[in-house]
Structures are given as structure tokens and as C-alpha cells.
Amino acid sequence: MVTEAVPGARSVTLGAWVGVGARDEPGELSGASHFLEHLLFKGTESRSARAIAETVEAVGGEMNAFTAQERTAYHLRLPGDELAFGLDLLGDVLSAPALRHDEVDAERQVITEELLQSEDEAEDRAHTLCYEALFPEHPLGREVLGSAQSIDAMDRSDIAGF
């Protein structure tokens, strides 16, 4: 495994592109990939959400993620000499998420707000309507964020199982 940055590099970007997205979700779990994306940043078995955020920010880094129809991506940008730290952190986030019950409920509210905001954004709404028209009755035709009903119905065990 590579643990040293490219000589002379001032920054390093690393990430994991996971081949699971909205197209892989059954109707009752619509939005599960995005829900899980949110929860992975909320802590691991050995790190709290605060510890993750503080350690990344302390070295001047950024950590983010996105969910799409066919994949979910988790990525970090760090100073070049922090590659080993980044690999350790990303590995921990992906392999040992805590999925705490209180965080599931908190993120449910955040995602519900995102759903409401997407209804107000003309570009987001147009994309959703286009996918619905192109792929009726198929997971690709559903909103990546899920629906208010599916997000409200999902519990920790549903998300962990997915």
C-alpha cells in the first residue's frame, strides 16, 4: 500500500467510489445510499463525528461525499504529507461506521430538509422529472434522495442492512 505522497506534491486527494447508488435500492429503501452517505460522516466505532471533522480541519483538509444514480463517492483533500492519515481515516469511515440511533434520527431531519429544498430548485426538479419520464417504474426514475415516505420509514437496521 502506498503511504507516501508523490515527492514534491503539496496536496493529495483520495477517495473511494463505491458501486452502489439509487439504482440499487428497492422502492421501500429509496434514498438508502444517500442516507448511509450522511451517516458515515457521523462517526465510527473509534471516532466521533466531531473528532473526524476536527482532525481533518486541523491539517487544513476537506472531506466530502456525494450519491448518484450508480455510485456513492467519499473523498478527502489533504496536505501532501497527510496521506497515511487520510487512508486510515477513509478506511475507518467506510469499514466501521457507528450508525448511532440518535444520528439516524438527526440525519433523517437533514435529508427531509434536502428533499424540501430540491423541490424549490428548478434545476433539481427538472432533473427529477426527466429521470421519472425516462425510467418510469424503475429505480433510475426515482429521486436519489429518496422520498419523504421512504426516508421517514427507514430505521437503523434498514440502513445497516442495506
CB 154 within 8 A of CB 32: yes
Radius of gyration from C-alpha coordinates of the chain = 17
Q: With CA atoms as reference, report the closest residue to 58 among 98, 85, 93.
A: 85
CB 117 within 8 A of CB 150: no
Please state, in angstroms and rounded to a whole number, the distance separating the CA atoms of residues 64 and 96.
17
Q: With CA atoms as reference, report the closest residue to 67 among 27, 116, 2, 111.
A: 111
CB 56 within 8 A of CB 47: no
Q: Which residue has the cell 429521470?
A: 131
- Choosing from 25, 37, 107, 143, the catalytic residue is 37
Is 123 an active-site residue?
no
Q: With CA atoms as reference, report the closest residue to 13 among 55, 48, 64.
A: 64
Catalytic residues: 37
